[in-house]
Amino acid sequence: MHHITLRIHEGHLFVTIDGDDWLLDTGTPTSFGRKQSFKIEGQNFSIPSSYIGLTAAQLSGYVDHPTAGIIGADVLNNFDILIDVKGEKVSFSTEQITLDGEPLEIAEFMGIPIVQANISGTDRRMFFDTGAQISYFQDESLDTFPAAGVLTDFYPGIGNFQTETYWVNATIGNLRYELRCGSLPGVLGMTLMMARTEGIIGNEILHDRIVGYSPRRQMLVIA
């Protein structure tokens, strides 16, 4: 098992590999960065220098932090992963990691995990995106929830965008959350429709819990 330092900055999760900080992002299908390769758990991964036109230099500006690039689903899905935000570490293993907690079955679209969340009494398919600092809910009822202010976010291929946010009560498995949810601009919203999903669960569900992500077994465990 390979343990890597994890830190949160302005709502984004960064792992440190060989002195460089990388954005940990289950919501991006393809890793990229200013280095041609990196190693995790003894495996070497070669990566492109950009994704949908986004480079590491541009990414660093968007997240306001010097960043070597994004470690995305194409790399993450080779491992069982234990994410411990409070303990400031992420553990990668090619073997099965066991964790006592709330087990959730996950689906996937282009390698990106999909979980089920219940909002307003209805089950919704939602992407699980550790690269998202807040959650998103593409539903016309969003503005009926308590307002949480305007937030600026970014997305590869889109750049910066602003969204009104709202406090949305959601149940994931047997766990209850109050999620800060925005809405995605048109092109991104259409991507959700392609995957038959209704939004994104961001990394806010990780902050006070240890989470096991096992994409090869289609399982997420929240402890």
User: Domain residues of the chain, as ranges?
Assistant: 2-93, 102-222
Average pLDDT over residues 11-29: 96
Homologous superfamily (CATH) for 102-222: Acid Proteases (2.40.70.10)
Question: What is residue 158's predicted lDDT score, i.e. its pLDDT?
Answer: 80
- 13 burial (CB, 10 Å; 0-12 / 13-18 / 19+) is buried
Q: What's phi and psi for 36, nearest 5 deg?
A: -75, -20
Q: Which candidate, 5, 6, 33, 2, places its Cα nearest to that of 203?
A: 6
With 0.85 as the threshold, say if the pTM is over it: yes
User: Is residue 160 pLDDT above 90, yes or no?
Assistant: no
For 146, which DSSP code?
P
Looking at residue 1, what is its pLDDT? 87
Question: Which residue has better confidence, 133 or 185?
Answer: 133
pLDDT at 56 over 90: yes
pLDDT at site 126: 97
d(CA 176, CA 205): 10
Report pLDDT for 213.
97
